[in-house]
Amino acid sequence: MAKGDPGGTTRGRRAAPRSRKSAAGDPELVQLLTPEGERIESVTGPDGNEYRVDFTDEEYRGLYRDLVLVRKLDAEATALQRQGELGIWASLLGQEAAQVGSGRALRTQDMAFPTYREHGVLYCRGIDPIMPLGLFRGVDQGGWDPNEFKFNMYTIVIGAQTLHATGYAMGITMDGKTGTDDGEAVIAYFGDGATSQGDVNEAFVWAGVFNAPMVFFCQNNQYAISEPLERQTRIPLYQRAAGFGFPGIRVDGNDVLATYAVTRTALDNARHGQGPSLIEAYTYRMGAHTTSDDPTRYRIASEVEAWQAKDPIARVRAFLEKQQIADADFFAEVDEQARRESVHLRERVLAMPNPEPVTMFDHVYPNGSPLLDEQRAQFSRYMESFEGSAH
C-alpha cells in the first residue's frame, strides 16, 4: 500500500518542479505525471497549495499493481455480465487512477460513500472484490456493514450518498473527532451528472455552512449516460464550490500521483477542522455507462482514441520503465497475479448460491417489525402455493 506524504519533503528525484502550470499546459489541472510518463516533482495549484508525492520505488510499484488488478477484475466482471452471470455491470474502465489515487489517500479512520462504480476504491479499502458482485448478480441485498471497512453501500440513486456523507461528517464534528492528525474525514464520490442533482447541491450547502469534515470527490468522466458534460454546466465543475463557500480544485484524474496528492491534502484539511472541499477528477469513461448502454450511439471513436492516449495505467508503466523502477519480470508477475485473481473471482461468482426468496425480509430492520413479519408470512404462503405444481 502506498503511503507517500504529499505534505512532506520530497527527495527531489527524477523530476523538475513546476508552478501553476501542468505539463498538459492547463493551468487549472493539477498534474504530477504526464501521459508520456514524465514526472513533475511538485505543482502549485490555483488554490495556492503545493502538491507533491514522495513515494518509495516499492510504493510506486504498488500503485501500478493496484491499477492493473483493478482494471483486470473490472474486465472480468464485464465478461461475466456478457455471459449472463451478472444482471448488469458498471465498469470503471479509464477511471482507475482517480479511484486508486483517492482510495489510497484515505487514512484507515476515514469513511467513504461510493456510487455504483467505485470498485477501485473498494479494492483499496481492503475489501474482497466479490462483495459487490452479489448485488450485480442479484443474489444478495447488499447488507454489508459500512463500519467494517469504512465503506458504505453502493448507491444507485444519483447523488443521494452526498447527503448521507454530509450528515455523517457533521456527526463526526459533533462527536469531537476532528482537529487532530487522528481526526476522521469523509469522502463522498459522485459523477459529473450528479452535480445537477438537488441532493448534491443541498449537501454542498450543509457541508459548507456546518464546516463538515469532508471531501466531495467528483469523477468527471465527461458523460452522464449519454448526456455530455456541456449539458450539466457552463463553468468548470470545480468552480461551483466557490458559490458554496469552500475551495474547489481540478486534478488530472488519469494521474494517480496527482489524484493521491490532492485528495490527501483535502482529507487532511478536513480532518484538521478546515471544512469541506470539492475535487473534480478530470477523467474519461472509456467503456459504456453500464453493460446496458451502447456508447457508439452518442460519441465518436476519435474522442475515445484521444483519451486512450491519456491512459492512466500506461503512463505509470512508462514512468516505471524509464526510471528503471520495474523490469519485465515485475510486469509479467503483476499480469499473472491479475489473471489469477480474476479467475478466482469468476469461480466464486459462479458458485454463489441463489438465495431463498423469503430471505429478502431478513435484514430490513435489525430487530424485525410486526408489519414485516406479516408480509413474510403472507409471502411464504404464496410461495408454498406453488409447491407440487409445475410452475
Ligand X SMILES: Cc1ncc(C[n+]2csc(CCOP(=O)(O)OP(=O)(O)O)c2C)c(N)n1
SS3 151: strand
> Smaller CB distance to Mg ion: residue 134 or 253?
253
Contact predicate 97/35, CB 8 Å: no
How far apart CA 235 and CA 218 sit, in angstroms, is 15
| Smallest gap from residue 252 Cβ to Mg ion (A) | 16
Please, how many CA atoms are within 13 Å of residue 195, restricted to the half-sphere of its CB? 29
What residues between 147 and 166 interact with ligand X by CB under 6 A? 156-158
What residues between 288 and 317 interact with ligand X by CB under 6 A? 289
| Smallest gap from residue 150 Cβ to ligand X (A) | 21
User: Which single residue is written with the C-alpha cell 504529499?
Assistant: 6
> Smaller CB distance to ligand X: residue 218 or 266?
218
Binder of ligand X out of 6, 45, 114, 191 (CB under 6 A):
191
Q: Which of 71, 119, 289, 346 is labelled catalytic?
A: 289
Question: Which of Mg ion, ligand X, none does 96 bind, CB closer than 5 to 8 A by kind?
Answer: none
> Smaller CB distance to ligand X: residue 271 or 289?
289
> Smaller CB distance to ligand X: residue 108 or 226?
226
> Smaller CB distance to Mg ion: residue 133 or 224?
224
Question: Which of ligand X, Mg ion, none does 209 bind, CB closer than 5 to 8 A by kind?
Answer: none
Q: Which grid cell is 99?
A: 479511484
Q: Which positions from 224 to 263 touch Mg ion by CB under 5 A, shown as an x/- string? A: x---------------------------------------
Q: Which of 125, 285, 315, 346 is labelled catalytic?
A: 285
Stretch that binds Mg ion, among 169-177, 222-230, 322-330, 335-343 (CB under 5 A): 222-230
DSSP 33: B
What residues between 202 and 241 interact with ligand X by CB under 6 A? 221, 223-225
- Provide the pairing of β-strand 50-52 with 29-30: unpaired
Q: Does 191 bind Mg ion (CB under 5 A)?
A: yes
| Smallest gap from residue 158 Cβ to ligand X (A) | 4
Alpha helices, H only, the chain: 57-82, 96-105, 119-124, 133-137, 146-149, 160-174, 198-209, 240-244, 256-271, 301-308, 312-322, 328-350, 370-384
Handedness of CA 283, 287, 293, 298 (dihedral sign): positive
Q: Is 340 a catalytic residue?
A: no
Contact predicate 63/2, CB 8 Å: yes
Q: Which of 298, 340, 363, 382 is labelled catalytic?
A: 298
| Smallest gap from residue 219 Cβ to ligand X (A) | 6
How far apart CA 54 and CA 57 sit, in angstroms, is 10
Q: How many residues bind ligand X (CB under 6 A)?
A: 15
> Smaller CB distance to ligand X: residue 191 or 275?
191
| Smallest gap from residue 241 Cβ to ligand X (A) | 17
Q: Does 221 bind Mg ion (CB under 5 A)?
A: yes
How far apart CA 279 and CA 249 sit, in angstroms, is 5
Q: Is 223 a catalytic residue?
A: no
How far apart CA 380 and CA 297 sit, in angstroms, is 45
Among candidates 229, 295, 275, 271, which has minimal Cα distance to 93?
295
How far apart CA 208 and CA 242 sit, in angstroms, is 10
How far apart CA 43 and CA 36 sit, in angstroms, is 17
Count, in order, helices (H) and strands (E) of the chain: 13, 11
Binder of Mg ion out of 184, 192, 252, 255 (CB under 5 A):
192
Q: Is 285 a catalytic residue?
A: yes
Q: Does 174 bind ligand X (CB under 6 A)?
A: no
> Smaller CB distance to Mg ion: residue 114 or 208?
114
Question: Which of Mg ion, ligand X, none does 127 bind, CB closer than 5 to 8 A by kind?
Answer: none
How far apart CA 91 and CA 71 sit, in angstroms, is 9
Q: What does the binding site for Mg ion look like in residue numbers (CB under 5 A)? A: 191-193, 221, 224
Q: What does the binding site for ligand X look like in residue numbers (CB under 6 A)? A: 117, 156-158, 190-194, 221, 223-225, 285, 289
> What positions carry a catalytic annotation?
285, 289, 298
